[in-house]
A and B are shown apart, each in its own frame.
Chain A
Amino acid sequence: MIAASRCPACGRVAAPPRDRCQGCRARTDDETLDPEGTVLTYTSGAEGWIALVELAGGARTWVQAPSEPTIGERLSVDA
Chain B
Amino acid sequence: MVAIRGSGLTSLGREPDPSSLVRAAVDRALSDAGLDVDAIDALVVANAAGEAFTSIGNVSVWTATEAGLAGTPAIRVDTGPSSGLAAVSTARGWLGAPGIDNVLVLGWEAMTSVPTEEATEILAGLMAADEREAGLSLPRLVACLTRAYLDRHDRSLAELDRVAHKAHRLAEANPIAQFGEVTLDEIAASRVVADPLRLMHCAPLTDGAAALVVADEGPVEIASMGAASDHLAYTQRRTPPERFQATQDAAEACFASTETERSDVDVVELHDAFVSLEAINLEDLGFVPDGEGLDHVAEPEADALGPSPAVNPSGGLKARGHPVGATGLAQTVECVDQCLDRAANPVADAGTALVHSIGGFGNNVHVALLEARP
Contacts and interface: CB of A to CB of B under 8 A. Distances in A.
Interface of A: 12, 14, 22-23, 40-46, 50, 52, 58, 60-62, 64, 71
A42 to B, nearest CB: 7
Interface in B112-148: 131, 134-136, 140, 143-145, 147-148
B140 A50 contact: yes
Given A14-B236, A22-B236, A61-B235, A42 B147 contact: yes
27 contacts: A12-B238, A14-B236, A23-B238, A40-B148, A40-B241, A41-B145, A41-B147, A41-B242, A42-B144, A42-B147, A43-B143, A43-B194, A43-B197, A44-B192, A44-B194, A44-B195, A45-B135, A45-B140, A50-B134, A50-B136, A50-B140, A52-B234, A52-B241, A58-B238, A62-B131, A62-B135, A62-B136
Contacts of B236: 14, 22, 60
B151 interface: yes
A14 to B, nearest CB: 7
B26 to A, nearest CB: 41
A16 B41 CA distance: 50
B237 interface: yes
B231 interface: yes
Nearest to B143: A43
A46 B147 CA distance: 18
Given A50-B136, A52-B241, A62-B134, A43 B144 contact: yes
A42 B131 CA distance: 14
A50 B194 CA distance: 10
A50 B151 contact: no
Nearest 7 A-B pairs (CB), nearest first? A43-B143, A41-B148, A44-B195, A60-B235, A41-B144, A62-B134, A40-B241
A75 to B, nearest CB: 14
A23 to B, nearest CB: 8
B276 to A, nearest CB: 12
A22 B145 CA distance: 21
Contacts of B145: 41
B148 to A, nearest CB: 4
A71 B135 contact: no
Nearest to A52: B144
Given A41-B241, A50-B136, A71 B235 contact: no
A40 B135 CA distance: 17
Contacts of A61: 235
A19 B253 CA distance: 32
Nearest to A61: B235
Contacts of A44: 140, 143, 192, 194-195
B151 A71 contact: yes
Nearest to A58: B238
